[in-house]
Structure 1
Amino acid sequence: MFSKACEYAIKASIYIAQQSHQERSANVKEVAKAVNAPEAFTAKILQQLCRENILESIRGKQGGFIFSVDKQKQIKIFDVVQLIDGDAIFTNCGLGLQKCSSDNPCPVHDDFKGVRDGLVAMVKKYSFYDLALKTETGLAWLK
């Protein structure tokens, strides 16, 4: 559903949020291993999340990435999806038709609109703080 980059960005953000709860930073190598992603690709994604002020980068030997609790509570899955993949998943036709709309619907338009609306509601509902807590308590997993 989401691109690989978006999936890695979401999982990496959750992992870094977990580490931040324990007052630890996470380096690129550690994050890549934790989310089963290529290290160079992970570094690129983490840089993008830092440029957009979602994550913070700490330089130096003990450096790494952190995700402040305040930001974890503000940032929703929706924000990361929009940043990495854009809004196409929330607006495009389910069959990939260019001219699909309420006035000119494709054969699955009404059904897919419900799916799209449900997806938007879900990704706007959960903050990274919520997701980190679920994985920390064993209610969910990253791998």
Structure 2
Amino acid sequence: MFSKACEYGIRAVIYIAKKSLTDQKVSLKEVAKAINSPEAYTSKILQKLAKKSIINSDKGPTGGFSMDKHELDKVKLSTIVFILDGDNIYNGCGLGLEKCNEQMPCPVHNQFKTVREDLKIMLETTTIISLTMGLKDGLTFLKR
């Protein structure tokens, strides 16, 4: 459903948020290892997220990636998805057809429309802090 970059981006933000709760900055290597992602690919994703101010990127010996822990309840999953994947997830056809719409629906158009609407609500109401707390408490995982 999400692109690979988006999946890695969501996992990276959750990991960085978890570390930020205890005022820790994390390196690119640490993030890539924690989310099981190639470093070069992770670097590009983190650059996009830093450019849009979702995460902080500090250079130098005390540098690393972090997030303002007082802002974690304001960052929505939908924001990360939009930065990395755009709004295709809200508009795309369930079968990948280019010209699927209300006037010329694909065979799964009406069912997929409901799924897309539910997904949009979930993404717009889920905060990074809510996802981070499950990870912090050991109830959820970023890699197996």
Which TM-score applies when normalising by structure 1?
0.95
Aligned to 1:38: 38
Looking at structure 2, the residues matched to 67 and 90 of structure 1 have their Cα atoms a distance apart, in angstroms, of 27
Aligned to 1:60: 60
1:121 correspondence with 2:118: no
Give the counterpart letter for 2:91 in structure 1.
T
> Gaps (5+ residues) in structure 2?
none
Give the counterpart letter for 2:64 in structure 1.
G
1:51 correspondence with 2:51: yes
Equivalent pairs counted in the alignment come to: 143
Please state whether the residue corresponding to 2:130 is helix, strand or coil: helix
Matched-pair contact (CA < 8 Å) for 1:9–1:80: yes
Q: Which runs of 4+ in 1 moved over 4 A?
A: none
Aligned to 2:106: 106
C-alpha root-mean-square deviation of aligned residues, in Å? Answer: 1.0
Matched-pair contact (CA < 8 Å) for 1:20–1:68: yes
1:85 correspondence with 2:79: no
Matched-pair contact (CA < 8 Å) for 1:76–1:124: yes
Looking at structure 1, the residues matched to 67 and 41 of structure 2 have their Cα atoms a distance apart, in angstroms, of 19
Give the counterpart letter for 2:50 in structure 1.
C
Aligned to 2:94: 94
Per-residue deviation, 1:17: 0.2
Please state whether the residue corresponding to 2:57 is helix, strand or coil: strand
Matched-pair contact (CA < 8 Å) for 1:54–1:71: no
Per-residue deviation, 1:70: 3.0
Percent identical pairs in the alignment equals: 46
> Gaps (5+ residues) in structure 1?
none
1:2 correspondence with 2:2: yes
Higher helix share: 1
Looking at structure 2, the residues matched to 50 and 97 of structure 1 have their Cα atoms a distance apart, in angstroms, of 33
